[in-house]
Amino acid sequence: MTIFKTLLTTVAISALASTSALAQTLVIKTQKLVTNQQLGVVENGTILIEDGRIKAIGTNADYQADKIIQGETVWVTPGIFAVYSHLGLVEVSAEASTNDINASDADAGLSLRASDSFNPHASNVAVSRLGGITHAAVVPDAGSTIFGGIGMVVSTNGSLDTDPTPRFIYVELGQAGANTAGGSRSAALGYLRSALEDVANPNRYKDGAHDGDVLSRYEASILRRAVRGEIPLMIGADRAADIVNIIKLKKGRMKIIIIGAAEGWMVADRLAAANISVVIDPIENLPYSFDALGTRPDNAKLLREAGVDMAIMTRRVTGAGAHNLRLLTQHAGNAVANGLSWDEAFKAITLAPATMMGMPSLGRLQAGQPANLVVWNGDPLEVTSSVVAVIIDGKVQDLTSRQTQLRDRYHPTRTDKPAYGYRP
Q: Check: CB of residue 27 under 8 Å from CB of residue 47.
A: yes
CA 181 distance to own-chain centroid = 27
- Among residues 80, 155, 88, the alpha carbon closest in space to that of 333 is found at 80
Q: Is 251 exposed, middle or buried (0-12, 13-18, 19+ CB in 10 A)?
A: exposed
Residue 209 confidence (pLDDT):
62
Dihedral angle of Cα 406, 380, 341, 302, to the nearest 10 degrees: 20
Whether 9 shows a pLDDT value over 70: the answer reads: no
- Among residues 29, 40, 39, 32, the alpha carbon closest in space to that of 6 is found at 29
How far is Cα 156 from Cα 174, in angstroms, rounded to an integer? 31
User: DSSP secondary structure string, 357-414?
Assistant: TT-GGGG---TTSB--EEEESS-TTSTT--EEEEEETTEEPP---HHHHHHHHH-TT-
Question: Phi, psi (5° rounding) for residue 75?
Answer: -115, 140
Average pLDDT for 181-206: 88
How far is Cα 348 from Cα 118, in angstroms, rounded to an integer? 25
Share of the chain above pLDDT 90, in %: 66
Contacts (Cβ under 8 Å, ≥6 apart) of 100: 89, 90, 117
Q: Strand 41-43: give its sheet, edge to edge.
A: 41-43, 32-34, 75-78, 373-376, 387-392, 395-396
**Mean pLDDT lowest among 77-91, 93-107, 112-126:** 93-107
How far is Cα 143 from Cα 114, in angstroms, rounded to an integer? 13
pLDDT, tens only, 331-370:
999 999 999 999 999 999 999 999 999 999 999 999 999 9
Question: Phi, psi (5° rounding) for residue 333?
Answer: -60, -35
Output the pTM of the full model: 0.91
- Among residues 389, 401, 404, the alpha carbon closest in space to that of 134 is found at 389
Whether 294 shows a pLDDT value over 60: the answer reads: yes
Dihedral-angle region of residue 293 (phi above 0 means left; psi in -120 to 50 means alpha; beta otherwise): alpha
- The CATH topology of domain 25-77+379-411 is Urease, subunit C; domain 1 (2.30.40)
Residue 16 confidence (pLDDT):
54
Spell out the domain ranges in the chain.
25-77+379-411, 80-362
Residue 328 confidence (pLDDT):
95
- The CATH topology of domain 80-362 is TIM Barrel (3.20.20)
